[in-house]
Structure formats: C-alpha cells, structure tokens
Amino acid sequence: MKNVKRQGIILGFVVYLGLVSILTQVLPYIFGQPLILPNQIRRVSNLSVNTLEIRPHALNVNEKGSNDLLPNKVIILNFDDSYKSQFTYAKPILDMYGFKATFFQVCNWIDSGSEENEKMSWNDITELSKEGHDIEAHTMTHPHLDKLSSSELDYEIGQSKQCLLDHGINSTIFAYPYGEGWDNPEVVNIVSNYFDLARANSETPLTFLNCDDTMDDYTPTQSSCSTYPDNGTLVGSYAINSWSHRHIEGDYSTADQRCEETCTYYNNSQMFEKFVGYVNSQDKYNTNGSINAIPIVVYHTIVTYPDLTFSKRPVDTTVNLFEEEMRYLHDNGFEVLLMSDLVFDDM
C-alpha cells in the first residue's frame, strides 16, 4: 500500500508539472497578445549582490578579435519623458554621426502635450525602434514612486512594461521618475519583478562595471557593489548611475520658473565644458581595452534657443549644444552603446 501511495504522489506531481508547462505556453496567447507571466520574470533573491557587464560583442573589435582596437572611451546616451523634440531635433544629429540612443517612454504621455511639451507619437517610437534605438520603460504617468501604494506601484511599473509590449516592444530596463525609488526596497522589489535593470540619477555619470566587493581597483571610497550601499554610491543593477543634462541646478521651481533659494546657471559654453569633463571622467578606470566604468548622460527637451541663457526650463538642451557634444564624441573616438548592451551578472 505504501508503494502504491508513493507512486500516486509521484504521478500526481508529474501531472502537475505537465499542466504548468502547458499553461505557461498556452495562456500568453489566449487573449491574442503576449502576457507577462510570473515564471517569465527574472526575480532577484539577493538584491545586495550584483554587478554589471557589457554584453559580449557590443564593442567593436578588429577582424582578428584582438582587444587592441577596443575603445578606452565609451558612453550611453539616454532620452527621457517622450518629448517630440528628441525625435525632431536630436535624432537627425544622432543619424549624422551614426549614434544610437536609449529612449525611456512614459506610456500615457505618448501622443499628447502642448506645442512646447509635445510628446512623440507611437509612429515615432516605432520608427526609432526599427532603426536600432532602445525603447525602454519610464512608468505610465511619471509619478513620485516613493509616495505610491503597492497596487499603484505595480500599475505604474508593471503596466508600463505591458504597454510597450502591446506595441511590439519588449522593454527590459526601467528608469525611475525624478531619480526616486532606487533606494526604496518596496519599489525596487516590484521593479525587479518586471525588469532586468533600472536606472537612477546622481550628480556624477559613472556606472562601474565588473565590480566585486572590494572595488580596490577603482576607488577606496566605493567599497560595495550592492544596490543599497552604505556610502550612498549607486552601483547595483537596479541603481544604475546617470547624469541628467541640466543647465539650472539647485532649488529651482520649474512651475514658477524661478529660483527659490540657491541656484547655479550654465550657458552653452559652460555646459559643454561640464559635459566634456563628465564623459572623460572614465579615463582613469578604462585602459588597455578594459572597460570598467561608463558614463550615462540623460537628455530631456531639445530646444532651438541660440543659448541656454534664453531657457527657463532646467532640462533644456539647445540643438547647437547637442550637436557640439555629439561632434565631440565622434571626433574623440567615443563608442556609443545602448542600455541594452549592459547585462546583469549575479555570479
């Protein structure tokens, strides 16, 4: 009797596994579109131990596969918030230099906005995707994630993935609105249910790659690869570092277009100098074809003012400044990568 009972348990378990296998293959197509199922999501059991690498073959090499021609200078260009000006003004400049970029989309903003804040259309986004640019997720409505309930977080984060998936785009990377939430375990745990990587903001652009728990080869002050490091440095795969290209810094009210306390203002020349300093801050870490740090620069609105002194919106970048920055990258041998060229390694 014991053997019969044991055989029944084994048979029942086998039947259960078979049903799970069938359902996970059939369910996604019941409603005529791919669905995000729990078993299709890479869950992270230990968010405090992780590192990033550049995907194999993302960097150009010579025909013999030698590292001799690998670049010492790399960069990733990001565009946030679905602004139409990115498509109208930035894309032609990217095309001119053969660069590709990563565009983080706010789904409910697409096909909306006034003339000054006009957003891209789904046709624009489809064209960007077809031409090899990255299309990634930036929530549904761009809220402050730290202020939301669990159900609201699941909508803003999970539905933003599904929204892009409904338009044929499988987003695997998330960007936190306002750079908030990367240090909130509840937020990060929900992000990790849907996305492989997530990008935050900081005062400096460098994200370190191939890191271990000592980081001695980089800097003594950065001693951890964790998502929530004690010293506040962003290293983890759900806290990828980046620098937002802003020409007004400090206590500035965008709504009132005035400085409430202390602010710093930059013109085109000063922003270009700042850009050059930031993108070259990788130099002491990247030598002999070994890429250990990569700057990520985030743009928002692209405007036609002759100089940033005419702009009262901190995230504006003038067309002529953007072109000058892209020309600098081209003329100085930078290789421009995509966010999707980064890969999580939990070994």
pLDDT at residue number 286 = 85
Q: What is the CB neighbour count within 10 angstroms for residue 309?
A: 13
- Domain of 155 in residue numbering reads as 49-345
pLDDT at residue number 28 = 39
pLDDT at residue number 225 = 52
H or E, element range at 287? none
> Does residue 18 sit within a domain?
no
pLDDT at residue number 3 = 53
> Does residue 32 sit within a domain?
no
Q: CA 120 to CA 95: how far, in whole Å?
A: 18
DSSP state of 136: E
CB 303 within 8 A of CB 290: no
> Does residue 152 sit within a domain?
yes
- Mean pLDDT by groups of 10 residues along the chain of 347 residues: 52 49 41 36 39 79 47 92 97 98 98 88 97 98 97 98 97 96 90 93 80 47 47 63 94 89 96 97 83 92 97 96 98 96 74
Radius of gyration of the chain (CA): 22
Q: CA 301 to CA 110: how far, in whole Å?
A: 15
DSSP code string of 60-93: ---TT--GGG--S-EEEEEEETTBHHIIIIIHHH
> Does residue 268 sit within a domain?
yes
> Does residue 55 sit within a domain?
yes
CB 285 within 8 A of CB 218: yes
32: alpha, beta or left? (left if phi > 0; alpha if psi -120 to 50): left
Provide the CATH number for the domain around residue 312.
3.20.20.370
pLDDT at residue number 215 = 43
Token readout for 147 is: 């202020």
> Does residue 31 sit within a domain?
no
Q: CA 89 to CA 102: how far, in whole Å?
A: 15
pLDDT at residue number 53 = 84
Q: Per DSSP, which regions of the chain are E strands?
A: 51-54, 74-80, 102-105, 134-137, 173-175, 197-199, 206-208, 243-244, 248-253, 258-265, 293-299, 301-303, 316-318, 335-337, 342-345
> Does residue 138 sit within a domain?
yes
> Does residue 217 sit within a domain?
yes
Q: How many domains does the chain have?
A: 1
